[in-house]
Amino acid sequence: MAEIRIDLEKCMGSGNCSYWAPGSFDLDDDGKVLVRDPATDEESRLVMAAEGCPVGAISIWHGERRIDQGAP
Ligand code: SF4
């Protein structure tokens, strides 16, 4: 199963990730990303969330292999 890694220092609370993978990502009261239940979204949605993050705060991994392409 894919592993989600987050760099909270980078997150600026845009909410793009919760649009692409609403079961996996949410925002906390401070407007920072919160990981919910990644098993509820297809892996492709996790990758879209990572690649859609405007500041590159999310990466998706299989072990030590990163499977998303990062922020544009
Ligand atoms: S898309 Fe990126 S910047 Fe926006 S809330 Fe998610 S992690 Fe934070």
> What percent of the chain is modeled with pLDDT above 90?
94
Q: Which domain holds residue 38?
A: 3-66
Residue 35 sits in a domain of what CATH number? Answer: 3.30.70.20
pLDDT number for residue 24: 98
DSSP labels, 15-44: -HHHHH-TTTEEE-TTS-EEE--GGGS-HH
Answer whether 31 contacts ligand 1 (Cβ < 6 A): no
pLDDT number for residue 1: 86
Residue 71 belongs to some domain of the structure: no
pLDDT of 21-40, one tens digit each?
999 999 999 999 999 999 99
Answer whether 14 contacts ligand 1 (Cβ < 6 A): yes
pTM for the full predicted model:
0.95
The pair of three-digit structure tokens given for residue 47, joined into one six-digit string: 């990758």
Ligand 1 atom closest to Cα of residue 27: 5
What is the residue whose two structure tokens read 């997150």?
11
